[in-house]
Structures are given as C-alpha cells and as structure tokens.
Structure 1
Amino acid sequence: MASVKVRFRELSVDGETGCLYYQVICRRIVRQVYTNYRILKSEWDTTTKTIKASFVNEGIGTREEYLRFVCRRVNLELSRFHRIVVSLDNGLQACTADDIVRRFEQATVEQSLPCFMRGIIAQLKLVGKCRTSETYKATLNSLIRFAGENTILDEIDSDFMMGYEAYLKSRQISMNTVSFYMRVLRAVYNRAVEKGLTVQKYPFRHVYTGIGKTVKRGMSITYVRKIKELSLPCNSALDFARDIFMFSFYTRGMSFVDIAYLKKSDLKDGILTYKRRKTGQQLIIKWEKCMQEIINKYPQNVTEYLLPIIRYPENKRKQYDTALHLVNSQLKRIAVQIRLPIKLTTYVARHSWAGVAKSNNIPLSVISEGMGHDSESTTKIYLASLDTSVIDKANELILKSI
C-alpha cells in the first residue's frame, strides 16, 4: 500500500519561507512532488506535520487568510492522491510511486476546472455574449481565491461547495451574490458532466442557489419628474446622463447596453424595433415625441447609432463600459441634487417604469411587474404573449403622467 504525506522543506536562511511538498512512498521507492505553497518555519507544526492551528483557526489578516488557503489546497490534493492510490490498488497491475505521481500531474492538467471554465468564457466571447463572459470570469476569480488554480473537476463535491459558501459568507458577500456564483458554477459543472469529464455528484444540493428580494431600486413618479425638470448645464455630462436615464424610462426601462447599440435603422415609420442583448427577445416600441426630443439634442451625431454613446468602430465594448461608468457617476450627482433616498443608476429607470405602471393599475400581464416576479421565466412568458399595441398604450399612459 502506498502512502502520501505532506512535508516542509525549510531554508537555511532565517526569516525566509520554505516550501511544502508531497512525499510519495510505494514499494520502498520515494518520490517528491513540490508545490508553490510557501510558509515560514514558525508556521509549521513539526509534531502534527501541519500548519499550526493558531494561524489557521484564530488568525485575522492577509497572511492568515493565505495560510487557510494553503490548508484547503493541501487537504484537497491529499484527497486527490488518496483517490489515485485506491484506484491503482484496485487495478490488476501493481502501482509504483511514479504511477501515482504521473496520475496526479495528469489530473491537474486534464481535469483543471479553471482551464475548462476559461474555455467556456472564450466561447461566450466568440458568440458575442461579452457580459455573460465577464460574469463567468468574476465567478472564476472568486473560486480561485478560495481554492487556487489547481482545482480539478473531480474535487467538486458537496463538501467542497459548502466550504466555498462558508468562505464567501466569511467575506461578507451578499447571499444573492453567493447564489449567483453557485448558479454559474453549477452550469459549468453540468456542462463538464455532459462532456464526460467528471461524474455527477450533485454538489450544489446543500448550498444556496435561490434568489432573494433585492433592495428597492425603483422610485416614484415624483422623483422622475424632478429629474426631468432639473435645471442642468446644456451639453454637459450631467445633462447627457439625465437624457440617457429619461430615454430609458420613456422606452419602458430599456437597459443601457441596448440603448448604446440602438441603430438609426432600428427606427422606421414611428416604430422602434430592437433585440434585447441579454435574452435575444425582440421588442417593439411606439416612437413618442419625448423620445425624439432627446435625439434632436444631438444633431452632431453622425454615427450609425441612435445616441452618441459608441462613436468609433473600434473597441465598441470599451466605449460602452466607459460611457456606462460616466453616466452612472453623473446620476449619483443628480440623486444628491434631488435628495433621492436610493442609489441612482441607469437600471433604476427600468424598476421605476414598472413601479409607476403598477401604481397606474396597469395589468401585471402588461408590465410583467418588472422585478416583482419570483422567476425570470415567468416574466418571459408574460412578455412573449403580449400584444405590442397593449404595451404601447400602457407606455403612453405612463409618459402622460410626467
């Protein structure tokens, strides 16, 4: 029977970090697998052959967090060694220390969760789903901070995910964000299962993947009027931010990314037609006077786009990101001027339209109640079944109220 133990190799220079390595012994043959984990001699318990519990369980700070990370990685990799040893011992041929090391290194490369996930992120970018790729990348970065680059797919089980959830909670991450990360990872994991890269262990059954109610983001029609009537310098960044916000409200809460990519050709015969970049769903909006008034403020816009957000053919995504940051920063200043009690962003326009529609007794099936639905699928069902003239009528009622 083979054995694998973690060892610490200290340096002769005082105050320098030594490295951890694994000692693999099989049939009296010894092999060593070195890691990148570096610790001080004072942090190593020579009796238990582990990092001292005082640093792992009680310490607070960057160094202590790193040591906890190393402990997690060592435990995961020792478990990986154990699975390899068991599988080889159950085979017909006797295993050697070299077999164990080779299997360990092979799994690290071929079953790498970060590598698999980066492949998905690249595919998302290739098909134009840049925003989704960014959310996947954020999830991956969070997971790497918890478990490192060498996490393999076979290590993803219920205990692993519960440990990750506990880690996120310890960092004061909101439960909605925790759920978001979990749902992204579940999608990645299920794809790996479909490809036969790992077996289904249902690792997400004990972690939170629900969607809780978020902080109120909508505002009353009174505040919408205040924003519309606010005296701002013409052609200023504040004025532009107000125009974008009001245009979003006028167009039933159109998202900023959809506004940015609206083309002049999308407006024909008094009808604006566009596809939501998030869902691919086609929406049709009756063009109103208030919408045209905003467009008329930018006669110098000679691009193919309806509003001067994307001005050049190169680096469109960067222009969008820069404009979104600028608009939201200016909306914060507007919120201060009107003494708005909530954070003002472009997304507030969408929530506000839904809230104002509801207060005007417009049927839920017409507005799908914005953020009021418990599931996105319900919202899609309502929106997909609506006659666009009914929605246009609802929008007219809302616009008249301001």
Structure 2
Amino acid sequence: MTTVKVKFRPSTVEDRPGTIVYFVTHRRAVRQITTDYKVFPHEWDDKQSRPILVPTGERTAVIQTIAQRIRRDINRLDKIINSLNCNKREFATDEIVKLFHETEREASFFEFMEEVILQLERLGKERTAENYTTALNSFKRFRNGNDIMLNEIDSDLMKEYEAYLKSHGVAMNTVSFYNRILRAVYNRAVEKEMTVQRYPFKHVYTGIDKTVKRALPLKIIKRIKELDLPLKSSLDFTRDMFLFSFYTRGMSFIDMAYLKKKDLQNGILSYRRRKTGQQLFIKWEKSMQEIIDKYPANENSYLLPIIKTDRNERLQYKNALRLVNNKLKEISVSIGLQSKLTMYVSRHSWASIAKSQNIPLSVISAGMGHDSENTTRIYLASLDNSMIDKANELILGKL
C-alpha cells in the first residue's frame, strides 16, 4: 500500500513561515518531497493537514493559492501511483518521487483553469470568472469529468469538442464564446512556459455570428407597459425593470443593478458601462421617476430595488436577473410573442424604434454607448449629448 501525507515543518527561525512537505510511503520506505510553499503556524490546520482558509486578510490570496497547489500536487501523486499500480510491476518509492519531479512543469488543464478562475475572483473580476467557470464546466462535460494535461490539448481534440457542442444544439456564438475562453487560458499557460504553443484553436470557430435581432415594435412595448399585472408582484417588478431599461436607451441589467443614488443629480443620470468603461449621461424623464416612486427607497446607496442590502451584492444581482428572465418568459407568453423576451430585447428595441423615427445612426450608436467602431469613437468626441436626450424624449413621447 502506498500513502501520501501532507505535513507542516515549522521554521527554526522565530516569526518566519514554515514549509509544506509531502511524505510518500511505499513498502515501508519513506521519501520526502519538500515544496516551496510557505505558511505561518497559525495558518496551518495540523489535524486536517491543510492550510486554514480565512475569508479576508492580506494573506488570503496566498493561502488560497497554496491550498489549490497542494490539491493539485496530491492529485498528481495519486495519478502517478495509480499508473504504476496498473502496470502490475514492482516499483520503489524513489520512482514515485522521480516521476513527480519530472511532471512538475506539467499541469492539468482543469487545475490550471481553476487556478486562473481563482485569480480572476481575487482581482474582483467576478463576471469574467463566472464566464470562465461556465466554459470550464462545458469542457468538463465533454470530457466526462476526465482531466487532461496541457500538453495533450491539440487541434483534433478541440475539433471534437466543437462537434460535441454542435451535436448538443449549442448556438455558434456560444461555441465561439467557449472556444475563445479556453484559448485565452491555453495561451496563458503557454506564456508561463507550462506547455508549448500547438495552436489547437486554429481550426475551430472563434468568430461572431450575426444573431437574429429580437427588437419589438413600439406597439408591443406599449402592450407590455399597459399589461394589467398584480401591483408589486414579481411580474410587475419585471415589467418595470424591462421598461426602465428601454427608457434609459437599453441600459444593461447589470448597469441598472449597480446604479447609485448619487448617479442621479440635477436631472441627469450618469453611469459608466461595466462592459466598456464608457461613461454615459441620460436626461431623467418622468417615466423613469414613476418607476422609482413605486418602490420604497433603498436604505443602502443603490437607486433601484435590485440590490437591497450591502451584503452579497453580486448574489442579489444574479438572483434578480434570474427572476426577471424567468418572468419575462411569462410576459412574452401572455402577449403572444413568438420570440423570446429578455432584458436584452429592450436594448435592440430602443435602437430599432429610434431608427424607425429617422434618428441618425450616429446618435443611436452614441446613445447606446457603442464604442467598438472607430467612426463611433471619433463622433462621440464631438457629439452634443442633448441630441441623444432629444432622441430618447421623442421615443418615450410615443408611448
């Protein structure tokens, strides 16, 4: 029987961190693997043989990384031992240690990507971390949970993954979304010299497909506005959030959720798009205020009744988005819509209706905060914001 134990060796120097050590025992022969992971005595749980994870503090990120690396090392040792056992031949403890050191520069794709996700979370990039987690989970399903080494990622594998996604009815934009995320992680591993560049994503789709726009005409927006819904119900709340997005030129739900009361001053709502960082200014209209007035003022600093407490803001936003998207489906059924109603439909609808009112494309683009095209960026520098406000006022006046 072969065993691996994780131990903490205190430093001989006072107030210095100790070292994490692995003890590998096979046929009573014990060998030691000394790591470069350092923790202080109060950061080590001797009974559980693992670092003590604390939610906050200067060393939190360091301890989280060390804990993850220990798990990765133990998994690698287990795989080495299992592989040697499967060969049904005699082997010594020294061989286990030798193979461990030989594979030290290697890393599994799952483990490396999980480490990248943890780093994104530590940097406060929660949305990106969630996207990376979604892509990783998809790839894990394709692999039936079987991990793979970074140096085994090749073009054939990624073509198989793409075929798997297509066979499960995944839209091409989603296929591209997953491939681009996996490519970014792979390229990061290449930069760290954990694998060589094999260009595994060269023959898979990483572009952007033109999607069917689900913009609603003005008469449908009116029908949604005039729906007879139970006051202060979840359906009523959903309708209000959809309309508020439309009123504010298709503001995204995440930007709505994080609006602060201080963002509304002197009849102007100002906010910075979380997606692009671009700052936008919107003239405050009566229809917007009517929605605010329907709900008790938040005790916290947020403007809309989406994030209601100062704890777990991200979770509150995600729960509210899930609720709204579910209830929008009910609203779309109630008015007989053939297409799926989502918060993003309000954005497409505002642009489509603005175009139908002969509002210049440059004004529409600026009003929505588009900055991906050079022509739009150049025009934004000199565009009078009152033109955008007049465009929005014209649309809202049609309701």
Is the shorter-chain TM-score for this pair beyond 0.5, marking a shared fold?
A: yes
Specify the code of the residue in structure 1 equivalent to 2:108: S
The partner residue of 1:130 within 126, 136, 141 is 126
- Of 215, 222, 225 in structure 2, the residue corresponding to residue 225 of structure 1 is 222
Query: Aligned AA for 2:300?
Result: T
Change (3 A) 1:369 1:318: same
The residue number in structure 2 matching 1:156 is 153
Cα shift at 1:171:
2.3
Structure 1 pair 277–366 and aligned structure 2 pair: CA distance change class (3 A) = same
Instruction: Answer yes or no: is 1:178 the counterpart of 2:175.
Output: yes
Residue identity matched to 2:170: I
**AA at the equivalent of 2:209:** G
How do 1:246-261 and structure 2 match up within 5 A? 246-261=243-258
| Identical columns (%) | 61
SS of equivalent residue, structure 2 residue 103: helix
Task: Using the TM superposition, give the Cα deviation of residue 106 of structure 1 relative to its aligned residue in structure 2, in angstroms.
Answer: 5.0
Q: Is the CA contact 1:176–1:212 (under 8 Å) kept in the aligned structure 2?
A: yes
Is the counterpart of residue 313 in structure 1 residue 310 in structure 2? yes
Say whether residues 1:368 and 2:365 are aligned partners: yes
Cα deviations across residues 149-200 of structure 1 (Å, max 9, x unaligned)? 5312211221221122122222222222111111111111222222222222
Question: Any unmatched runs of 5+ in structure 2?
Answer: 1-78, 84-91
Counterpart in the other structure of 1:397: 394
CA distance in 2, matches of 1:151, 1:379: 44
Letter aligned with residue 207 of structure 2: G
Q: Which amino acid aligns with 1:326?
A: L
- Identify the residue that residue 350 of structure 1 maps to in structure 2: 347
2: CA distance between counterparts of 1:370 and 1:196?
44
For the 8 Å contact 2:298–2:305, the answer to whether it is kept is yes
Q: 1:316 to 1:278 in 2, by over 3 A?
A: same
Q: What does 1:257-276 align with in structure 2 at a 5 Å threshold?
A: 257-276=254-273
Q: Deviation per CA, 1:247-268, whole angstroms, max 9, x where unpaired?
A: 0000010111111111101111
CA offset digits 1:124-143 (Å, max 9, x no partner): 22233222211100111111
Give 1:98 deviation, angstroms.
Answer: 7.6
Match of 2:196 in 1: 199
Q: 1:130 to 1:114 in 2, by over 3 A?
A: same
Q: Per the alignment, do residues 101 and 210 of structure 1 end up closer, same or farther by CA in structure 2, a change over 3 Å counting?
A: farther
Deviation for aligned residue 1:290: 1.1
1:278 and 1:107, CA in 2 relative to 1: closer, same or farther beyond 3 A?
A: farther
Measured in 2, the distance between the counterparts of 1:125 and 1:195 equals: 20
Work out whether residues 247 and 288 of structure 2, in 8 Å CA contact, stay in contact via their aligned partners in 1: yes
Question: CA 1:154–1:254 in structure 2 vs 1: closer, same or farther (change >3 Å)?
Answer: same
Contact 2:105 2:194 survives alignment (8 Å): no
Question: 2 CA distance for matches of 1:162 and 1:247?
Answer: 43
State the Cα RMSD in Å: 3.0
1:298 aligns with 2:295: yes
1:67-122 CA-to-partner distances (Å, cap 9, x unmatched) read: xxxxxxxxxx9xxx9xxxxxxxxxxxxxx998799447853884222222112212
TM-score by length of structure 1 reads: 0.69
Displacement, 1:337?
2.3
Matched letter for residue 238 of structure 2 = A
Give the Cα–Cα distance (whole angstroms) in 1 for the partners of residues 351 and 378 of structure 2. 14
SS at 2:295 equivalent = coil
**Map 1:320-331 → 2, pairs under 5 A:** 320-331=317-328
Q: 1:267 to 1:381 in 2, by over 3 A?
A: same
Instruction: Give the 3 Å change call, closer, same or farther, for CA 320–214 of structure 1 in structure 2.
Output: same
